């Protein structure tokens, strides 16, 4: 076991790891290659025990028209074909009205869990007094947010369904404007916990606050009321470029069948929604937002009715195709890494410095674009044809192919099925 690891320099950390786990010389070489010559001190501040950086491709999907405004969307993702699929769908929809988006609501929540021997019915009688007292107790924390139009929206007192009859939850609603708001919400909740003890002590226990225990105070990443909607719509005839060997009408029906399956079949719904998150997560990462929180909130929303289902709905009406995505996205354009990380800062500049509501809509459009392309491929040529074509370059890189070998392989696989084993055999053949 390595002792005092956190106190070592980055170079010493690598030396200790190499000695302890018998790491190769290539390990140290690669670690060194990925250290930024100018900005490493900044990157070191973003996490702990940093020894290098893990680079991800920073791609751009152009031609997005969202609410009649054109965007080039930055996407950070390692999966082949995601940026290409988004770009293709963006170009297709740009001449068909683009992506129509709207923020339905932007409410976020936090929870203050506490135990007290005061009966729930008695607490409820004093709910408005408790609310006023707690809001007043954090006015110094909320003052700046309130100036920007945010703050505490209200709260509900709930009895927890556990074996402990004295366990309660104060569910507090917040508006955090352009900030994701985690630190703001958590600071408010922790201060409100102390104020709650004081209130119970003063109003119920004649100065004794020992009967009230604060269990925990924390924001919730379940944000079903921080919701954005994205819709694309056109005549069914206009879908012909995506229809492959099918008629536009048949393609629309097949597309609808795929969406309907995702809205009844959980196995399919998870993969359906993963395709949406390909686009959303890529923008979340590019802009320095918290993709783990986004993922958790989105998937909880997908299962809000007790069964995990798809996040999109479709309507075919006469000759009209209408496809809608509704998804919770709690994001920010200030705070966190959004302005600290140089590439996140660039991403937001590329997006023309959006506010949080605009960023929610941009992310939803990216998710819709990737989902649309994925479903279109699935119900026509299949997902692997386009995906493996994009993946070919990765396989060729794995085999350290030179320029001539890459050219021969690309020509060969233009008309042959791509698989890892097929590429391996082809490269072995031309090298022999």
Please report the pLDDT score of residue 94 as a whole number.
97
Please report the pLDDT score of residue 397 as a whole number.
83
Give the pTM. Answer: 0.89
Q: What is the pLDDT along the chain (432 residues), one digit of tens a residue?
A: 899 999 999 999 999 999 999 999 999 999 999 999 999 999 999 999 999 999 999 999 999 999 999 999 999 999 888 999 999 999 999 999 999 999 999 999 999 999 998 999 999 999 999 999 999 999 999 999 999 999 999 999 999 988 878 999 999 999 999 999 999 999 999 999 999 999 998 888 666 666 799 999 999 999 999 999 999 999 999 999 999 999 999 999 999 999 999 999 999 999 999 999 999 999 999 999 999 999 999 999 999 999 999 999 999 999 999 999 999 999 999 988 888 999 999 999 999 999 999 999 999 999 999 999 999 999 997 766 655 666 687 788 888 889 888 888 888 888 788 888 888 888 998 888
Nearest to 100 by CA among 282, 298, 362: 362
Ramachandran angles phi, psi of 109, nearest 5°:
-135, 155
Please report the pLDDT score of residue 80 as a whole number.
81
User: Cα separation of 205 and 192, whole Å?
Assistant: 18
- What domains lie within the chain, and their CATH numbers? 5-44 (no CATH), 58-104+227-381 (3.90.770.10), 108-220 (3.30.70.420), 387-431 (no CATH)
Cα-based torsion angle of the residue sequence 408, 414, 419, 420 in order, rounded to the nearest 10 degrees: 20
327 neighbors 367 (Cβ within 8 angstroms): yes
Active site residues: 79, 274, 290, 387
User: Cα separation of 172 and 256, whole Å?
Assistant: 39
Q: Mind giving me the DSSP string for 385-426?
A: HHHHHHHHHHHHHHTT--HHHHHHHHHHTTSS---HHHHHHH
Please report the pLDDT score of residue 398 as a whole number.
85
CA neighbours within 13 Å on the CB side: how many for 280?
32
**How many other CB atoms sit within 10 Å of the CB of residue 211?**
15
User: Which segments of 114-166 does DSSP mark as H helices, in order?
Assistant: 120-125, 127-137, 139-147
Please report the pLDDT score of residue 389 as a whole number.
64
């Amino acid at each position: 076991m390595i002792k005092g690891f956190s106190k070592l320099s980055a170079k010493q950390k690598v030396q200790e790891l190499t000695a302890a786990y018998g790491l190769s010389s290539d390990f140290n070489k690669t670690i060194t290659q990925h250290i930024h010559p100018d900005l490493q001190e900044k990157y070191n501040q973003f996490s702990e025990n940093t020894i290098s950086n893990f680079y991800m491709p920073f791609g751009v999907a152009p031609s997005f028209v969202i609410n009649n405004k054109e965007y080039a969307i930055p996407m950070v993702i390692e999966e082949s074909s995601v940026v290409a699929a988004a770009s293709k769908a963006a170009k297709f929809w740009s001449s068909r009205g683009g992506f129509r988006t709207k923020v339905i609501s932007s409410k976020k929540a936090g929870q203050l869990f506490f135990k007290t021997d005061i009966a729930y019915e008695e607490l409820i009688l004093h709910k408005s007094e408790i609310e006023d007292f707690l809001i007043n107790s954090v006015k110094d924390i909320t003052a700046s947010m309130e100036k920007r139009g945010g703050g505490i929206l209200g709260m509900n007192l709930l009895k927890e369904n556990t074996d402990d009859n004295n366990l309660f939850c104060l569910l507090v609603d917040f508006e955090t404007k352009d900030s994701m708001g985690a630190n703001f919400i958590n600071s408010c909740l922790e201060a409100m916990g102390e104020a709650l003890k004081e209130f119970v002590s003063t109003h119920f226990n004649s100065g004794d606050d020992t009967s009230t225990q604060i269990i925990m105070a924390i924001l919730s990443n379940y944000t079903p009321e921080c919701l954005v909607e994205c819709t694309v719509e056109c005549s069914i005839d206009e879908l012909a470029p995506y229809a492959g060997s099918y008629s536009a009408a048949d393609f629309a029906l097949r597309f609808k069948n795929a969406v309907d399956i995702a809205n009844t079949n959980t196995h399919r719904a998870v993969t359906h929604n993963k395709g949406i998150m390909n686009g959303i997560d890529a923008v979340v990462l590019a802009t320095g937002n918290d993709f783990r929180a986004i993922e958790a909130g989105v998937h909880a929303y997908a299962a809000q009715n007790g069964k995990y289902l798809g996040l999109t709905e479709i309507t075919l009406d006469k000759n009209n195709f209408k496809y809608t995505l509704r998804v919770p996205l709690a994001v920010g354009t200030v705070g966190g890494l959004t302005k600290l990380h140089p590439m996140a800062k660039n991403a937001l500049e590329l997006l023309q410095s959006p506010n949080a509501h605009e960023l929610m809509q941009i992310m939803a459009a990216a998710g819709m674009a990737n989902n649309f392309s994925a479903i279109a491929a699935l119900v026509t040529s299949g997902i692997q044809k386009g995906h493996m074509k994009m993946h070919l370059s990765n396989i060729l890189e794995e085999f350290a192919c030179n320029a001539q070998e890459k050219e021969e392989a690309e020509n060969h696989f233009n008309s042959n099925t791509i698989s890892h084993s097929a590429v391996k055999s082809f490269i072995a053949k031309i090298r022999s």
